[in-house]
């Protein structure tokens, strides 16, 4: 396994369009599929361009279910459409790290990232997100999938 590479950065707030869900972990893949489709259709209906890869925004730590907002960054403030609504991804100081590999390995990367942040005295702020840089439909080998984790810090 590759060593974690993380960095502290400053990011700008980003307009997004997303679909909210409160789902069981096993139902996340199905939820993401529907949410990404709905968010893309809503962006088109609102006349705003998709400005980056799909993401999953997590406002708090999961419990028995996962509260998630799944969608896309967009080029301008979107109007709500159907199940999709405007979401503003937060700006400010954040830590970013790249996870390479299947999604079921993300927990290990999060553990490493938490240790990395603790060692540097960084405290996570509310909300974090994963940007899915690889499309499993066009990149079928999970070992190559790349997921960028962004964790705002206070």
List the domains of the chain with CATH numbers.
6-152 (3.20.80.10)
**Assessment of whether the complete model's pTM goes beyond 0.85:** yes
CA dist., res. 74 & res. 48, Å (int): 6
Q: pLDDT of the chain along its 154 residues, tens only?
A: 567 889 999 999 999 999 999 999 999 999 999 999 999 999 999 999 999 999 999 998 888 899 999 999 999 999 999 999 999 999 999 999 999 999 999 999 999 999 999 999 999 998 999 999 999 889 999 999 999 999 999 8
CB 126 within 8 A of CB 59: yes
Tokens 């088109």 correspond to 44
Tokens matching residue 18: 């997303």
């Amino acid at each position: 396994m590759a060593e974690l590479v993380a960095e502290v950065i400053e990011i700008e707030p980003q307009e997004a369009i997303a679909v909210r869900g409160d789902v069981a972990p096993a139902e996340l893949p199905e939820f993401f599929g529907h949410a990404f489709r709905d968010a893309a259709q809503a962006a088109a209906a609102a006349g705003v361009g998709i400005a980056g890869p799909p993401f999953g925004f997590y406002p708090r730590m999961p419990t028995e279910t996962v509260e998630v907002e799944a969608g896309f960054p967009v080029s301008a403030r979107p109007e709500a459409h159907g199940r999709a609504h405007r979401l503003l991804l937060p700006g400010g100081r954040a830590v970013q790290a790249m996870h390479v590999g299947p999604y079921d390995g993300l927990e290990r990367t999060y553990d490493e990232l938490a240790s990395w942040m603790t060692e540097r005295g960084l405290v996570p702020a509310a909300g974090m997100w994963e940007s899915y840089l690889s499309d499993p439909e066009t990149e079928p080998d999970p070992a190559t999938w790349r997921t960028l984790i962004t964790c705002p810090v206070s």
